Amino acid sequence: MALRKPPLREVHAERGAKFTEFGGWDMPVEFDGIRAEHDAVRSSAGLFDVSHMGEIKVSGPDATELTNRLTSNDVAALDPGDAQYAAITNDDGQIIDDTVVYLLPDGETYLFVPNAGNDDRMHERWTDHRDEWGLDAVVENATDEYAMFALQGPDAVAIAAETTAASVADIARFTAVSTEVAGVDCLVARTGYTGEDGVELLLSASDARTVWTALADVTDDGATVQPCGLGARDTLRIEAGFLLSGQDFDIESGPRTPFEAGIDFAVDLDTSFVGRDALAADDPEERLVGIQLTERGVPRHGYDIVSTENHVIGEVTSGTMSPTLDAPIGMGYLPTEYADPGTNVRVVVRGGQKSARVQQLPFYER
Amino acid sequence: MSFEIRDDCRYRESHEWAHPNGVVRVGITDFAQDELGDVVFVELPREGDTLSQGEEFGVIESIKAVSDLYAPVSGEVAAVNERLFDEPELVNESPFEDGWMLEIEPDDPDLDTLLSAGEYRDQTE
With an 8 Å Cβ cutoff, is B68 touching chain A? no
Q: Taking CB atoms and an 8 Å limit, are B59 and A33 in contact across chains?
A: no
Q: What is the pLDDT of residue A224?
A: 76
Domains by residue range for chain A, with CATH = 9-54+144-239 (3.30.1360.120), 56-141 (3.30.70.1400), 285-359 (2.40.30.110)
Contact of A97 with A122, CB cutoff 8 Å:
yes
Q: What is the pLDDT of residue A219?
A: 59
Q: Quick one: closest CA in B to A36, which residue?
A: B38
Domain count, chain B: 1
With an 8 Å Cβ cutoff, is A34 touching chain B? yes
Q: Cα–Cα–Cα angle for A149, A178, A25, nearest 5°? A: 25
With an 8 Å Cβ cutoff, is B37 touching chain A? yes
Residue type, position A89, single letter: T
Please report residues of A whose CB lies closer than 8 A to that of B38.
Answer: 33-35, 323
Q: How many helices (H) and strands (E) does chain B have?
A: 4, 9
Residue A254, classified by CB atoms within 10 Å of its CB into exposed (0-12), middle (13-18) or buried (19+), is middle
Please report residues of B whose CB lies closer than 8 A to that of A350.
Answer: 59
With an 8 Å Cβ cutoff, is B64 touching chain A? yes
Instruction: Give the best residue of A29, A35, A347 to mutate against chain B (max B CB count within 10 A).
Output: A35
Residue type, position B106, single letter: P
Alpha-carbon dihedral sign for residues A316, A317, A321, A325: negative
Nearest to A195 by CA among A333, A6, A366, A17: A366
With an 8 Å Cβ cutoff, is A266 touching chain B? no
> For A3-51, how does the pLDDT look when each residue is reduced to its tens digit (9 = 90+)?
999 999 999 999 999 999 999 999 999 999 999 999 999 999 999 999 9
Residues of chain B with pLDDT > 90, as a percent, come to 93
**Range of the structural domain that residue B63 is part of:** 10-107
Q: What is the pLDDT of residue B2?
A: 83
B1, B40, B85 member nearest A321 (Cβ) = B40
Residue A272: beta bridge partners?
none
Confidence label for B1 from pLDDT (cuts 50, 70 and 90): low
Please report residues of B whose CB lies closer than 8 A to that of A34.
Answer: 37-38, 62-64
Q: Which residues, at least 6 apart from A196, have a Cβ–Cβ distance to it below 8 Å?
A: A41, A42, A152, A153, A154, A156, A236, A366
Q: Quick one: closest CA in A to B61, which residue?
A: A298
With an 8 Å Cβ cutoff, is B65 touching chain A? no
Instruction: Compute the distance between CA of residue A236 and CA of residue A23 in angstroms, rounded to an integer.
Output: 19
Instruction: Give the best residue of B31, B40, B60, B66 to mutate against chain A (max A CB count within 10 A).
Output: B40
Mean pLDDT of A323-352: 97
Backbone angles phi, psi at A189, to 5 degrees: -115, 140
Give CA separation, A192 vs A174, A301, A357, B83, B86, in Å.
9, 23, 28, 38, 33
On whether ipTM exceeds 0.95, the answer is no
The domain spanning residue B42 has which CATH number? Answer: 2.40.50.100
> For A228-283, how does the pLDDT look when each residue is reduced to its tens digit (9 = 90+)?
999 999 999 999 999 999 999 999 999 999 999 999 999 999 999 999 999 999 89
Residue B123 lies in a domain: no
In eight-state DSSP terms, residue A238 is H
> For B26-65, how does the pLDDT look when each residue is reduced to its tens digit (9 = 90+)?
999 999 999 999 999 999 999 999 999 999 999 999 999 9
- Radius of gyration of the CA atoms of chain A, in A: 20
Residue B113 lies in a domain: no
Residue B89 lies in a domain: yes
Nearest to A96 by CA among A65, A71, A68: A71
Q: Taking CB atoms and an 8 Å limit, are A235 and B63 in contact across chains?
A: yes
